[in-house]
């Protein structure tokens, strides 16, 4: 494949060429006005015809460029350049002009069903914000750069979803639901790599829809709730063990009470029950000795 880079097309001010075309037509009219009706074909008449043809050929060379727009020109099958300067211009009248917008465009992908890293079917969609930065690549490296953006963006979304779980309770594991900023950055990077060949720059890429597939939504919701409960319980137990350990260390450090292994076990049991239990603990006041 030929690698085509954008370059500036030859162009001049359109209003200046309007004056030139008017002068050519004026000269032709002046010649035709001086020719007698019954006179034969003369070099003067031929000059008038040539001036009229030259003025007429100036017409196809005029073109307008609006803000955030460009015109791409080809001549006899060859790319000759791009005009990005807004205004009224003139160039080779035989060149073919095609408009390419430079405005920022939103692509909202369809909801696609794919398996996440855990093998769970999910529905996912994304919004990709992009614009053309190289008009030559956009026009000649791909068949239709808009369709190319759409297909490659959905492919990148599908590939990204298979590398991350929908949700995760592990601290070091990224997930599609919890790590939105990180996932958005990686999605933008993947889409940009795919679209470099088309001369398109990705401004932003972000997941716009994320949900479990309907057939497993209820089951996965219960699973998600169970995982959340387990994660919360694990944190509660870790905190309770730390508190019990701290209590024992402080009691011994301050010589408040000396406990043997049996009493330490009983104290640990009572503290863990009080700290971990879902219901409020009911205290029992012991009026006798600890060994009674």
* CATH number of the domain where residue 192 is located: 3.30.479.30
| Alpha helices, H only, 59-134 | none
Q: Same structural domain for residues 207 and 222?
A: no
For 289, the token pair is 């000795």
pLDDT of residue 71: 96
Question: Which of 68, 83, 100 is the last residue before a domain boundary?
Answer: 100
For residue 286, tell me if it sits in a domain: no
Q: Residue 275 above 80 pLDDT?
A: no
Q: Same structural domain for residues 261 and 196?
A: no
For residue 228, tell me if it sits in a domain: yes
Tell me if residue 119 falls in helix, strand or coil: coil
For residue 152, tell me if it sits in a domain: yes
The model's confidence at residue 288, banded by pLDDT at 50, 70 and 90, is: low
For 194, the token pair is 């795919």
Between 252 and 160, residue with greater pLDDT: 160
For residue 292, tell me if it sits in a domain: no
Q: Which of 68-77, 100-109, 207-216 has the lowest mean pLDDT?
A: 207-216
**How many domains is the chain built from?**
3
Q: Is 6 exposed, middle or buried (0-12, 13-18, 19+ CB in 10 A)?
A: buried
Report the mean per-residue pLDDT for the chain.
Answer: 84
For 292, the token pair is 């009674």
For 126, the token pair is 């994304």
pLDDT of residue 123: 92
Contact (CB, 8 A) for 57 and 84: no
Measure the CA–CA gap between 123 and 220, rounded to whole angstroms: 13
R_g over Cα of the chain:
39
Q: Same structural domain for residues 30 and 69?
A: yes
For residue 119, tell me if it sits in a domain: yes
Overall average pLDDT of the 38-65 stretch: 81
Helix (H) or strand (E) holding 62: strand 62-65
For residue 148, tell me if it sits in a domain: yes
Q: Residue 91 above 70 pLDDT?
A: yes
Question: Which of 83, 100, 117 is the last residue before a domain boundary?
Answer: 100
Q: Same structural domain for residues 118 and 91?
A: no
For 260, the token pair is 């043997």
Contact (CB, 8 A) for 200 and 138: yes
| Alpha helices, H only, 162-284 | 180-195, 217-253, 261-276
pLDDT of residue 261: 67
Residues of the chain with pLDDT > 90: what percent? 48
Which residues, including other chains, have CB under 8 Å from residue 81's CB and lie 6 or more apart?
7, 8, 9, 10, 73
Q: Which domain holds residue 31?
A: 12-100
pLDDT of residue 272: 66
């Amino acid at each position: 494949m030929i690698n085509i880079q954008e370059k500036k097309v030859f162009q001049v001010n359109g209003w200046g060429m309007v004056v030139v075309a008017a002068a050519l037509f004026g000269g032709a009219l002046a010649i035709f006005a001086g020719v007698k009706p019954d006179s034969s074909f003369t070099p003067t008449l031929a000059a008038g015809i040539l001036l009229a043809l030259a003025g007429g050929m100036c017409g196809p060379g005029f073109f307008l460029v609006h803000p955030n727009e460009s015109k791409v020109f080809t001549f006899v099958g060859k790319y000759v350049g791009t005009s990005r300067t807004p205004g009224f211009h003139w160039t080779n009248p035989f060149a073919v002009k095609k408009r390419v917008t430079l405005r920022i465009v939103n692509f909202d992908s369809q909801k696609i069903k794919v398996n996440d890293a855990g093998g769970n079917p999910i529905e996912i969609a994304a919004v990709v914000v992009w614009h053309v930065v190289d008009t030559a690549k956009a026009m000649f490296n791909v068949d239709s750069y808009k369709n190319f953006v759409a297909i490659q963006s959905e492919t990148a979304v599908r590939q990204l979803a298979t590398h991350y779980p929908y949700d995760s309770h592990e601290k070091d594991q990224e997930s599609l639901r919890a790590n939105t900023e990180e996932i958005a950055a990686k999605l933008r990077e993947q889409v940009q790599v795919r679209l470099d060949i088309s001369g398109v720059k990705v401004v932003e890429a972000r997941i716009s829809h994320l949900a479990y597939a309907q057939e497993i939504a209820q089951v996965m919701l219960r699973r998600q709730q169970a995982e959340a409960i387990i994660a919360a319980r694990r944190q509660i137990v870790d905190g309770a063990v730390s508190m019990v350990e701290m209590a024992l260390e402080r009691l011994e450090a301050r010589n408040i009470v000396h406990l043997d292994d049996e009493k330490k076990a009983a104290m640990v049991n009572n503290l863990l029950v009080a700290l971990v239990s879902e219901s409020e603990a009911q205290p029992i006041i012991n009026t006798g000795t600890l060994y009674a």
